[in-house]
Amino acid sequence: MSATRRTLLRTALTAGAAVPLLSACVTNGGDDGDRAAGNTGAKSADNPLGVKADAPLEVVIFKGGYGDEYAKSAETTYTQKYAGAKIDHKGLQKIGVALQPRFVANTPPDVVDNTGADRLDISALVSAKQVTDLTPLLDAPAFDDPAKKVRDTLLPGVIDDGTFDNVPQTLNFTYTVWGIWYSRKLFTARGWTYPRTWDAMLELCATIRAAGIAPWTYQGKYPEYINDPMLGMAAKTGGPDLIKAVDNLEPNAWKAPGLIAAAEAFAELAGKGYIMAGSEALSHTEAQAAWCQGKAAFIPSGSWLESEQKGVTPDGFDMVLGTVPARTTSDRLKPTALQAASSESFLVPAKAKNPAGGLEYLRILFSKKSARAFAATAGTLPAVVGATDGLTLSSGLGSVRDAVTAAGSETFTYRFRTWYAPLAKAVDDATGELVNKRITAAQWADRVQKAADGIAKDSSVKKYTR
């Protein structure tokens, strides 16, 4: 994974991605009327979205790390069901560059996988009313389980991740979780148990250091990595109210007791010397390589870590993800609660020529059979419940699946990072200073709150609420 993949995942996960590919000129295209006229069919139990069997379908897929064979497989299923349909498939890397002119001209494709560094600015598309409401899809029967609605087959938070102003407008196909990674082989050999509380974490860190191993390292050039467990700890302490206050730019949200306590916890981690010396200067690849070499016991990261380290991880390393330890005995969320969000964002343009077909394609793509095939080849957790059932999974992906199962409905994500890029940078910068002992937890909160207040008062910044 490239140095920017982490940020790209962040900005693709939820509403408000900040890549300015579409300017206001998206609204300047002429109104071509109803391009879908004549391209809809009668709705029935077998055809709940009213697909016209012989209407052509144009599908544009981001051809990145996952390739596009999984998308072609769903297209094969589509043409098996609608034998008269011809599918125009395009696998691209620069989605925004290719499609921006077509959205401006009101001639977009029928389905778009809007992912990658050059993706379209979803906020601009939504503001210009260029994206179809996906409610009919979510309320339709699941493709391979008609007893359930599509919405009931998705993992927690997936629908919310693609919802803008209470309207679901994108649907994300993959599921990313964040946590603290360690080598099960190392822990078994040493007799160590992964800590479930922060006090236990500090005790174990002392033991690890005594064994001649640095307890922690992190991707120091990108302090957002170590932000994740810290903000995850705060979320567990303060619960949904804390997360909403932060995302909604409420006054003094960043000075909530849960956030101060989490910042104090990581300041203590640094103060006790439990972070590997020199971590601040390391890139993500350098820090992760040191961890794989056994120089440190813990490293924070998202669920892409295993695939990113394939060429570096020693045989038998057996990496697994652990959830963030509880800071207090009265946390609002249980210890198994998990920071998670979906990515790989699909949409159906409002001016699509075959929107019913576009929705039906997504119904097929998000089927359990389709998601299972993807999981088997991509090594990534899909956003569909039960997609990995019965599969033999690697240690990392298996631990991710188990963590999601244990969390149940208690998954959470902050959205300020994708809604307000300057605030995200302010948090990252302040956390870098905190874990390198240059500011205190109180000073950290003051700095971040000042940045949040500045955005809240800036009338030129579009605000979002949850």
Q: What are phi and psi of 165, to 5 degrees?
A: 50, 45
Task: Tell me the CATH number for domain 5-176+343-401.
Answer: 3.40.190.10
User: pLDDT per residue over 430-450, tens digit each?
Assistant: 999 999 999 999 999 999 999
Q: What is the mean pLDDT of the chain?
A: 91
Pairing of strands 319-322, 338-347: unpaired
User: pLDDT per residue over 279-310, tens digit each?
Assistant: 999 999 999 999 999 999 999 999 989 988 98
Residues 6 or more apart whose Cβ sits within 8 Å of residue 267: 434, 435, 437, 440, 441, 444
Task: Determine the Cα–Cα distance for residues 80 and 89; give it in Å rounded to an integer.
Answer: 16
Q: For 63-67, 159-163, 234-238, which range has the lowest pLDDT when averaged over its residues?
A: 63-67
Residue 318 CA: distances (Å) to CA of 186, 281, 314: 9, 27, 9
**Token pair listed for 183:** 């080598």
Q: What mean pLDDT do residues 211-221 have?
A: 97
Task: Report the pLDDT value the prediction gives residue 31, as an integer from 0 to 100.
Answer: 52
**Token pair listed for 139:** 């309320």
What's the number of CA atoms in the CB half-sphere (13 Å) around residue 295?
14
Residue 110 CA: distances (Å) to CA of 107, 297, 348, 399, 442: 9, 47, 6, 36, 50
Task: Determine the Cα–Cα distance for residues 158 and 204; give it in Å rounded to an integer.
Answer: 35
| Nearest Cα to Cα of residue 437 among 218, 264, 259, 206 | 264
Q: For 94-98, 125-129, 133-137, 353-357, which range has the lowest pLDDT when averaged over its residues?
A: 125-129
User: pLDDT per residue over 354-391, tens digit each?
Assistant: 999 999 999 999 999 999 999 988 888 999 999 999 99
| pTM, entire model | 0.82
Superfamily of domain 178-339+416-457: Periplasmic binding protein-like II (3.40.190.10)
Task: Report the pLDDT value the prediction gives residue 64, as an integer from 0 to 100.
Answer: 85
Share of the chain above pLDDT 90, in %: 81
Q: What mean pLDDT do residues 157-174 have?
A: 93
User: pLDDT per residue over 42-65, tens digit each?
Assistant: 999 999 999 999 999 999 999 988
Task: Determine the Cα–Cα distance for residues 284 and 309; give it in Å rounded to an integer.
Answer: 11
pLDDT at 407 over 50: yes
User: For residues 354 and 256, is the Cβ–Cβ distance under 8 A?
Assistant: no
Task: Determine the Cα–Cα distance for residues 213 and 206; give it in Å rounded to an integer.
Answer: 10
Q: pLDDT confidence of 32, banded at 50, 70, 90?
A: low
Task: Determine the Cα–Cα distance for residues 80 and 103; give it in Å rounded to an integer.
Answer: 30
Q: Could you tell me where in the chain the CATH 3.40.190.10 domains are found?
A: 5-176+343-401, 178-339+416-457
Task: Report the pLDDT value the prediction gives residue 443, as an integer from 0 to 100.
Answer: 98
Task: Report the pLDDT value the prediction gives residue 34, as an integer from 0 to 100.
Answer: 80
CA angle 374, 378, 383 (to 5 degrees): 55
User: For residues 93 and 2, is the Cβ–Cβ distance under 8 A?
Assistant: no
Task: Determine the Cα–Cα distance for residues 451 and 427; give it in Å rounded to an integer.
Answer: 9
